[in-house]
Amino acid sequence: MIFESHAHYDDEAFDEDREELLGSFAENGIDTVINIGASLESCRKTIALMEKYPFIYGAMGVHPSETGELDENGFQWLRECCGHKKVAAVGEIGLDYYWKEPEIPVQKKWFERQMGLAKETGLPVIIHSREAAKDTLDMMKSTHAEEIGGVIHCFSYTKEIAREYLNMGFHFGIGGVITFANAKKLKEAAAYIPMDRILLETDSPYLSPEPFRGKRNSSLNLPYIAEKIAVLKGIDREEVYAVTHENAQRLFRLGRFAETKGTD
């Protein structure tokens, strides 16, 4: 079975056919999806999705580019959302210097606060870091991310930076970028990262793998990503599915939901 660790099915790109698409996942081998909050509104929609679909779990967080909307009230609401029984992580949170909006001190402030929320709730984090490798690492060190654990989503840095995250016990979300012809650095890093630290992700509706680059993405494209990882690792695709599934179950501790909730 396939574990999709990062998707945004609340996005309006799925308004036309969301039900039909999500309904096709089981027959395509996808048995678990983490839907990722990126703003307060998308957290609200994520809760609705995970209450409707047994196989969807949620991450609650505000993406660095959206942190301008946060204030103490919003943060308090986010904290309450983290108490929902199907919330598996705090995220996506982090730093995005490609879009320096809002300004860096604002991004940093809410990254730190949300790291604190993860520590307080005992949830792992899902980190978004774009063109901000050094500051992300510095902040992860200062907030003792190694005690929190989590995943670097859409990892796109070098092998050397991968080593730093590995030393902190972090996992790596590998998505469609691995299929791009120009992703040499990422392929090197992915070959280096041990298989037991890799999660499969799409970031749907963004970042479609080849041969669908530029089109709307969905978890149905995960086989293209798994195939690339399989080639890099010299294993077969089924093994990539099995190991990444186990990794994600362990990281997000999904076993605890079965214990407390019966059938889910």
Q: Which is nearer to Ni ion, 10 or 203 (CB)?
A: 203
- Are 48 and 84 in contact by the 8 Å Cβ rule? The answer is no
Q: State the nearest-atom distance from the C-beta of 21 to Ni ion, in Å.
A: 17
Residue type present at position 87:
V
Count, residues near Ni ion per rule CB under 5 A: 1
Q: State the nearest-atom distance from the C-beta of 207 to Ni ion, in Å.
A: 9
Q: State the nearest-atom distance from the C-beta of 125 to Ni ion, in Å.
A: 13
User: Where in 186-245 is the site for Ni ion (CB under 5 A)?
Assistant: 203
Binding of Ni ion by 96 (CB under 5 A): no
- Are 144 and 105 in contact by the 8 Å Cβ rule? The answer is no
DSSP tally for the chain: helices H, then strands E: 10, 8
Rg of the chain over CA atoms, in angstroms? Answer: 17
Q: State the nearest-atom distance from the C-beta of 177 to Ni ion, in Å.
A: 13
Q: Which is nearer to Ni ion, 213 or 237 (CB)?
A: 213
Q: Which is nearer to Ni ion, 27 or 176 (CB)?
A: 176
Q: State the nearest-atom distance from the C-beta of 91 to Ni ion, in Å.
A: 8
Closest residue by beta carbon to Ni ion: 203
Report d(CA 111, CA 137) in Å as an integer: 12
Comparing CA positions, the residue from 176, 205, 170 lying closest to residue 12 is: 205
Q: Which is nearer to Ni ion, 96 or 203 (CB)?
A: 203
Length of the chain: 264
- Mark 151-190 with x for binding to Ni ion (rule: CB under 5 A) and - for no binding: ----------------------------------------
HSE toward the beta carbon, residue 93, CA cutoff 13 A:
31
Tokens standing for residue 240: 């990539």
Q: Which is nearer to Ni ion, 74 or 205 (CB)?
A: 205
Q: State the nearest-atom distance from the C-beta of 206 to Ni ion, in Å.
A: 7
Comparing CA positions, the residue from 100, 29, 22, 107 lying closest to residue 62 is: 107
Q: Which is nearer to Ni ion, 183 or 231 (CB)?
A: 183
User: What are the backbone dihedrals phi and psi of residue 100, each rounded to the nearest 5 degrees, phi first?
Assistant: -85, 50
Applying CB under 5 A, which residues contact Ni ion?
203
